[in-house]
Amino acid sequence: MQRAMRILSTALLLSVAVAATALAQGQSAPFTLSDSGRGYATLSEALNAIGDGQGTIIVAPGTYRQCAVQQGGVVTIRAAKPGTAIFDGVPCEGKGALVARGRATTVDGIVFQNIRVPDGNGAGIRLEKGDLTVTNSLFRNSEEGILTGDYAGGRVSIDKSTFRKLGRCDRDLDCAHGIYIGRLASLSVTNSRFDEGNGGHYLKTRTPRVTITGNSFDDSAGHLTNYMIDLSNGATGTISGNEMVQGKDKDNWSAFITVAPEGRENSSAGLVIDGNRAGFVPGLERGSTFVANFTDDAVRIGRNQLAPSMKVSDRR
């Protein structure tokens, strides 16, 4: 419970900071390279200045109706004050507010919101190459929080971040999700919060290795949502210390966690699911399954605290 409160407190503090900076501050060069101190009018200009090198961009408080594409290099994009640098409503290349195809990308303390595109996959961050690290950031009111492609290697690490009012399953298009990580090497999501989903899964990944620990999945205000965690093609690793609450308005309430529902590409033998808490909003009882395994792999389901009406696992 203390862990859940810490996650909630982080989300609330971030929301307060965001609300306090609803408009841009009117600075002419709000994107500053930390090593040189030189400022730029747009994030794209700052990224181009780094090129295929390495650098950190400090973003001044403000609401920025612009987007950017990172073409190379090892880049950190950091808010001068967490929660006060907001990228609002403008996607690049019909993909996302930040399209990342460098060697590595770190995003720290940034807010991405209101991103929508014709194919229904408008993301705060669209990762197409390299590694991605996200900390203390907020993704909200968009079709997708983070979306990646499929490519060899590639590690995604997310910590202390919030994913709110994301996802969709409409317009006869493929669903979008809070987080959708493709066939990369690994995914780590820790100490983060997912809530108020608008469709799809809260967390969907095709990576063969996962670490999903210490997170809060609050579906109490969700709308036509599906699974909390979808390991689409199976995975090994750890899912532990997470708090999960399923709401009433579900498109699919049959399971909280699924293992390889879209076909087994990766072994899930030895996947550890332990020390989680899962249940329903007050007044709701369902025969949902905590872990739905679509393979014969021996998933290690330890001691989890589940609502009385829930089934621990089943083979599908």
Tell me the CATH number at 67. Answer: 2.160.20
Q: Is residue 277, in this structure, part of any structural domain at all?
A: yes
In 3D space, the residue among 187, 230, 178 whose CA is nearest the CA of residue 208 turns out to be 187
Q: Per-residue pLDDT for 35 more than 60?
A: yes
- Domain membership flag for residue 231: yes
Stretch (H or E) spanning 6: helix 2-19
Within a domain: residue 190?
yes
How far, in Å, CA of 184 to CA of 130, rounded? Answer: 10
Within a domain: residue 226? yes
Per-residue pLDDT tens digits for 50-70? 999 999 999 999 999 999 999
Residue 47 domain-assigned (yes or no): no
Q: What is the pLDDT of residues 267-285, one digit of tens each?
A: 999 999 999 999 999 999 9
Specify the pairing of strand 31-33 against strand 216-218: unpaired
Work out how many domains the chain is built from and give that number: 1
Per-residue pLDDT, 155: 98
pLDDT band of residue 13 (cuts 50, 70, 90) is: very low
Instruction: Classify residue 250: in a domain, yes or no.
Output: yes
Q: Are 255 and 290 in contact (CB under 8 A)?
A: yes
pTM over 0.95: no
Q: Which residue, chain included where needed, has tokens 């076909």? A: 263
Reading the block at residue 31, the tokens are 């994107």
State residue 28's pLDDT score.
85
pLDDT of residue 132: 98
Give domain status of residue 129, yes or no. Answer: yes
pLDDT of residue 2: 46
CA–centroid distance for 125 within its chain = 9
Looking at residue 200, its amino acid is G
Q: What is the pLDDT of residues 151-175, one digit of tens each?
A: 999 999 999 999 999 999 998 899 9
Residues 170-199 have a mean pLDDT of 96
Comparing CA positions, the residue from 138, 191, 190, 198 lying closest to residue 163 is 138
CB 57 within 8 A of CB 98: no
pLDDT at residue 241, as a whole number: 98
Distance of CA 101 to the CA centre of its chain: 18
Q: Cα 140 to the chain's mean position, in Å?
A: 10
pLDDT at residue 300 tops 90: yes
Q: Is the pLDDT of residue 15 over 60?
A: no
Task: Say if residues 34 and 55 touch (Cβ distance below 8 Å).
Answer: yes
If you average pLDDT over every residue of the chain, what do you get?
93
Predicted pLDDT at 113: 98
pLDDT of 26 > 80? The answer is: no
Q: Tell the residue number behind the tokens 């009111």, with chain if given.
A: 141
- pLDDT at position 209 is 98
Pairing of strands 85-88, 110-113: parallel
**Dihedrals phi, psi of 138, to nearest 5 degrees:** -130, 130
Assigned domain for 158 exists = yes
Question: What distance in Å separates the CA atoms of residue 64 and residue 85, rounded to the nearest whole number?
Answer: 8
Q: What is the CA radius of gyration of the chain?
A: 19
Domain residue limits at 79: 2-27+56-315
Residue 16 has pLDDT above 90, yes or no: no
CB under 8 Å, gap of 24 or more: what pairs does 302-305 form? 302/272, 302/273, 302/274, 302/275, 303/274, 303/275, 304/273, 304/274, 304/275, 304/276, 304/277, 304/278, 305/276, 305/277, 305/278
